[in-house]
């Protein structure tokens, strides 16, 4: 194995503990708001992951909060140094996910921990799982906040893993938004619904950390193989009890059932990744359950969407930005890097470029706004090599000084959007309509060289020998930093 791999969430919990990034909470915690409030505060303070050992009303169940809400935890999940820098983690992600996909392998049910307990019939009751009330005012208890849903295409048999939130409605029913442009949306609404066929699904809760990363990444590679690539080893799957889907054998909890065609039930409101409760309570996709299988003492994973930074914002920013990087590189655009800011709730991406021809920023924006990735973000900032794309101060400086308020801004109307955009009109949210904008922070190529503003920074306006002298003497001058 080229790097340490966590085959399940339990090994990952041990690694978090070993890296002082876990707080084990032995005291009983209430699933009704208290657990959510703890996870929320953890996200806002970038604290260690809370590991809940005792959940009120649910003896025997445990939960892990905010499993991947920081780059440190992402680095640990990738088997890298916990203090790896974002560009290092990004390069590693791109490297691992541009090789050959790694096919999963099928385990015998007897060897699959997720089959240690099997509930079917009346026993398969969603209220027997400690689904938290995540935020006060949510439309229901969200059992699935850090998880993924497995489904199979009716015609091609292609398998999709995607993270689509699920709210408990009653003992047997969950509801959630499956956006029409998502892979599962196209599968279910495009193929099963017209034939009035229920679509088998399996919700996987408490998977290994990299499967979670893969499930919310917008990659065209089947997510189980993508997980294998991130891990450097095949994922071990096992057959479901009630359908022919396969799920990760080492996951904590599996909920099996069918997505019901031509029936919608009200879902939401829910505290969302934008940091608001925005998308309307409205009729959404219905999941009817048939079986629940789980490990002994199962550990639920709980994310808490809200103001930055939660794992949705961090990982979606990470993978959306890097899939954009792959797209732009595949087209030969001379970019120097792509970084999506998690604090922008993955709405704002910074693209570094060598501006060797005119209007290169427009070409970048046209490509990324025209791609499958585009409904999820609406601001592209293009900067030249002078700006460090990972440094927020530097990016703000470039935006405020190099972007012409008229020439530098290009608006894109009538785009695909999501119902979650807080700035969108209620009618636009309902129809997933959006708008997008480019901020071109490169100076025009036709300006005479003598008219080009020169960046006044330590690195830029002093000769090398002076810089070195100052750096060498810094402590001698009396500075402590």
Partner 1 sequence: MAKKEYDTFVLTDLALVAEDKETEMIVRDLMPADRRYKYRSAYVFGMVSKDESKYPDRLWVRLGRGQLQEKPWSIKVIKEVNKIPEG
Ligand X SMILES: Cc1cc2nc3c(=O)[nH]c(=O)nc-3n(C[C@H](O)[C@H](O)[C@H](O)COP(=O)(O)O)c2cc1C
β-pair partners for 338? 351
Span of 53-61, 216-224, 237-245, 428-436 interacting with ligand X by CB under 6 A: 216-224
β-pair partners for 105? 236
Count of positions on this chain that bind partner 1 (CB under 8 A)? 35
The correct pick among 316, 325, 378, 429 for binding ligand X (CB under 6 A) is 316
The correct pick among 303, 317, 344, 374 for binding ligand X (CB under 6 A) is 303
Span of 67-75, 113-121, 213-221, 363-371 interacting with ligand X by CB under 6 A: 213-221
Residue number with CB closer to partner 1 (99 or 426): 426
Q: How far is the CB of 319 from ligand X (least distance, A)?
A: 8
Q: How far is CA 400 from the centre of its chain?
A: 29
Residue 429 makes contact with partner 1 by CB under 8 A: no
Residue number with CB closer to ligand X (250 or 284): 284
Q: How far is the CB of 307 from partner 1 (least distance, A)?
A: 16
Element spanning 380, H or E: strand 379-383
> Which bin fits 146, alpha (ψ -120 to 50), beta or left (φ > 0)?
beta
Residue 386 makes contact with ligand X by CB under 6 A: no
Tokens 């930093």 found at: 481
269 binds, among partner 1, ligand X, none (CB under 5 to 8 A by kind): partner 1
Q: Do 315 and 70 touch, CB atoms closer than 8 A?
A: no
Residue 165 makes contact with ligand X by CB under 6 A: yes
For residues 85 and 332, give the distance between their C-alpha atoms in angstroms, rounded to a whole number. Answer: 26
Residue 428 makes contact with partner 1 by CB under 8 A: no
For residues 395 and 389, give the distance between their C-alpha atoms in angstroms, rounded to a whole number. Answer: 6
Q: How far is the CB of 145 from ligand X (least distance, A)?
A: 6
For residues 481 and 393, give the distance between their C-alpha atoms in angstroms, rounded to a whole number. Answer: 19
For residues 208 and 205, give the distance between their C-alpha atoms in angstroms, rounded to a whole number. Answer: 9
For residues 164 and 283, give the distance between their C-alpha atoms in angstroms, rounded to a whole number. Answer: 15
Span of 41-49, 66-74, 260-268, 334-342 interacting with partner 1 by CB under 8 A: 260-268
Q: How far is the CB of 367 from ligand X (least distance, A)?
A: 18
312 binds, among ligand X, partner 1, none (CB under 5 to 8 A by kind): ligand X
The correct pick among 41, 53, 109, 128 for binding partner 1 (CB under 8 A) is 128
Residue number with CB closer to partner 1 (121 or 448): 121
Residue 58 makes contact with partner 1 by CB under 8 A: yes
For residues 273 and 278, give the distance between their C-alpha atoms in angstroms, rounded to a whole number. Answer: 10
**Nearest C-alpha neighbor of 74 from the set 54, 64, 61, 88:** 88
Question: CA distances (Å), 456 to each of 386, 391, 442, 461, 462, in order?
Answer: 11, 17, 16, 6, 9
Q: How far is the CB of 62 from ligand X (least distance, A)?
A: 20
Residue 475 makes contact with partner 1 by CB under 8 A: no
Q: Do 226 and 93 touch, CB atoms closer than 8 A?
A: no
Residue 138 makes contact with partner 1 by CB under 8 A: yes
Residue number with CB closer to partner 1 (40 or 290): 290
For residues 318 and 337, give the distance between their C-alpha atoms in angstroms, rounded to a whole number. Answer: 12
The correct pick among 143, 178, 335, 353 for binding ligand X (CB under 6 A) is 178
Q: Which of residues 201-220 bind partner 1 (CB under 8 A)?
A: none
Outline where DSSP puts E strands in 127-172: 141-144, 147-152, 159-162, 166-170
Altogether, the residues listed in the chain come to a count of 481
162 binds, among partner 1, ligand X, none (CB under 5 to 8 A by kind): ligand X
At 410, list the tokens: 């290009």
Q: Do 326 and 339 touch, CB atoms closer than 8 A?
A: no
CA atoms within 13 A on the CB side of 218: 24
CA atoms within 13 A on the CB side of 76: 25
Residue number with CB closer to partner 1 (224 or 272): 272
Residue number with CB closer to ligand X (268 or 398): 268
The correct pick among 51, 119, 164, 169 for binding ligand X (CB under 6 A) is 164
How many beta carbons lie within 10 A of that of residue 106, not counting itself? 13
Span of 193-201, 212-220, 332-340, 462-470 interacting with ligand X by CB under 6 A: 212-220
Residues that bind partner 1 (CB under 8 A): 32, 57-58, 127-128, 133, 135-141, 168-173, 198, 257-258, 260, 263, 265-266, 269, 277-278, 280-281, 286, 288-290
Residues that bind ligand X (CB under 6 A): 145, 160, 162-165, 176-179, 182-184, 216-218, 303, 312, 316
């Amino acid at each position: 194995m080229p790097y340490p791999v966590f085959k399940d969430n339990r090994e990952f919990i041990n690694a978090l503990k070993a890296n002082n990034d876990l707080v084990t909470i032995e005291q009983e915690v209430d699933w009704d708001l208290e657990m959510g409030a703890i996870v929320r505060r953890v996200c806002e303070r970038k604290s260690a992951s809370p590991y809940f050992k005792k959940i009120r009303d649910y003896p025997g169940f445990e939960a892990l909060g905010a499993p991947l809400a920081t780059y440190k935890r992402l680095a640990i999940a990738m088997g890298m140094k916990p203090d790896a820098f974002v560009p290092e983690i990004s390069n590693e992600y791109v490297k691992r996910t541009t090789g050959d996909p790694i096919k999963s392998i099928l385990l015998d049910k007897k060897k699959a921990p997720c089959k240690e307990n099997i509930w079917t019939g009346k026993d398969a009751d969603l209220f027997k799982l400690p689904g938290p009330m995540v935020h006060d005012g949510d439309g229901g208890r969200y059992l699935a906040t850090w998880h993924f849903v497995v489904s199979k295409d009716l015609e091609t048999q292609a398998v999709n893993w995607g993270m689509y939130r699920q709210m408990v409605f009653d003992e047997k029913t969950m509801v959630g938004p499956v956006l029409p442009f998502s892979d599962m949306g196209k599968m279910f609404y495009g193929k099963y619904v017209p034939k009035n066929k229920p679509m088998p699904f399996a919700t996987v809760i408490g998977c290994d950390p990299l499967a979670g990363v893969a499930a919310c990444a917008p990659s065209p590679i089947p997510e189980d193989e993508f997980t294998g690539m991130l891990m450097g080893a095949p994922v071990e799957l096992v057959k479901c009890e009630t359908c022919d889907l396969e799920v990760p054998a080492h996951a904590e909890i599996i909920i099996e059932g069918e997505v019901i065609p031509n029936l919608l039930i009200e879902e939401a409101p829910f505290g969302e990744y934008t940091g608001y409760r925005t998308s309307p309570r409205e009729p959404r996709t219905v999941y009817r359950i048939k079986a629940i299988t789980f490990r002994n003492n199962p550990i639920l994973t709980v994310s808490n969407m809200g103001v930055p930074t939660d794992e949705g914002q961090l990982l979606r920013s990470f993978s959306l930005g890097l899939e954009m990087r792959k797209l732009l590189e595949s087209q030969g655009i001379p970019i120097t890097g792509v970084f999506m800011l998690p604090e922008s709730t993955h709405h704002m991406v910074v693209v570094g470029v060598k501006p060797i021809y005119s209007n290169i920023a427009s070409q970048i924006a046209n490509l990324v706004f025209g791609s499958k990735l585009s409904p999820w973000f609406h601001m592209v900032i293009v900067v030249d090599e002078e700006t460090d794309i990972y440094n927020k101060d530097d990016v703000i400086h470039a935006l405020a000084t190099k972007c012409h308020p008229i020439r530098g801004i290009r608006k894109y109307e009538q785009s695909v959007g999501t119902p979650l955009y807080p700035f969108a009109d209620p009618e636009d949210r309902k129809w997933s309509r959006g708008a997008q904008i480019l901020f071109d922070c490169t100076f025009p190529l036709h300006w005479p060289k003598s008219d080009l503003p020169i960046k006044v920074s330590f690195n830029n306006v002093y000769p090398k020998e002076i810089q070195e002298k100052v750096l060498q003497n810094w402590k001698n001058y009396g500075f402590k930093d």
